[in-house]
Amino acid sequence: MSTNLIGIKIKQRFDNGILSSTFKSEFKFEKFFINIQQAGYRQIIIFHDENNVEDIFNLFNSIDRYMQIFDGKFIPIISMETINEKEQVVSGFEEKIKSFLETRLSYFSSQDIYKGVHSKLCEPISYLDEKILNSWLQLQDELDLIHQSFLYFTCDNHMPIDIRLAHIIENLEPLSKYISEKNKFYLSVDVDGKTILKTHIDAIICKYGNILFQSEYLKDKDTFLQLLVNSRNRIMHTKRKFNKVYIKGPVNLMYCGKFSLLYRTILLDILGIKETDYLSNLQKDLDFYNSHLNLINDFIKNYL
């Protein structure tokens, strides 16, 4: 690195516990030098060749969003400070850091249901280098509001759980169009040359969600898909004019969790992460939502 560089050092950890895994990685990315290590807490240090603090903030947010795909939740920031090459604290940037933390988007605080160890698929740092970071920044840009919407509907914003699920389901349509454009699967056409929401959901589940939704598909695939469509359609009609069966109560929470897993496995696939690298953890995560919440059997019995 050049002399007289100013960087940002961020520490992250949950209030009620330490991060168990230990790792370290450092690499150069364009004008940035990145050092990430974890031992009890996660520490990310980013320098910029031209000391552009705003660009450092933006890159950190992107790295944090990348980590969330693997971790299943955002890890809170416990400290943030400017440093020199010797990691000595440099003053004069306190107001910029304060402004960054105060104006950070609300979706960087995950909902409680995603904060347990059950959310983790694999260690993000094991795959983070210049090449995959570049791929992630491109994917993040292409997904645009699709990804931001997903993060917003899984964050700690006190939104009713049925509204969360309705919007997550609605997000599957533009997501399936994006995936089909990348030649990940063929998207069939339905009525009047258009593709209906049910077909979008089915295409995604058949490609990526065979494990996650195996019980539902084996019992009654068509009824399950229609329940999802009905649950989404509630945001488009008044209650008086909507008399179809839809997902109710805590079951919404279970499916928010399962669709969160589905969405993240899709991103991992696009980024080139092999399913065998996280399959065992995916099964554990699924068991949590199916068994620990003790809802799946009642749902299949009462709905399908």
Question: Which letter does DSSP use for residue 74 in this model?
Answer: P
Q: Are residues 164 and 103 in the same domain?
A: no
Domain count, the chain: 2
Q: Domain for residue 45, yes or no?
A: yes
Q: Domain for residue 144, yes or no?
A: no
- Structural domain harbouring 169: 159-303
Last residue of some domain: 92, 108, 124? 108
Q: Are residues 93 and 198 in the same domain?
A: no
Q: Are residues 100 and 177 in the same domain?
A: no
Q: Are residues 90 and 179 in the same domain?
A: no
pLDDT band for position 138 (cuts 50, 70, 90)? very high
pLDDT in tens, 247-274: 988 899 999 999 999 999 999 999 999 9
Q: Domain for residue 279, yes or no?
A: yes
Question: Which letter does DSSP use for residue 213 in this model?
Answer: T
Q: Which helix (H) or strand (E) holds 32?
A: strand 32-40
**DSSP letter string, 139-193:** HHHHHTHHHHHHHHTTBSS---HHHHHHHHHHHHHHHHHHHHHTTSS-----GGG
Identify the CATH number of the domain in which residue 83 sits: 3.30.310
pTM: 0.92
pLDDT in tens, 151-165: 999 998 888 999 999
Distance from C-alpha of 205 to C-alpha of 280, rounded to nearest angstrom: 19
Q: Are residues 100 and 169 in the same domain?
A: no
Q: Are residues 101 and 175 in the same domain?
A: no
Q: Are residues 268 and 164 in the same domain?
A: yes
Q: Domain for residue 138, yes or no?
A: no
Q: Are residues 204 and 92 in the same domain?
A: no
Per-residue model confidence (pLDDT) at position 30:
93
Q: Residue 1: is its pLDDT beyond 70? A: no
Q: Domain for residue 143, yes or no?
A: no
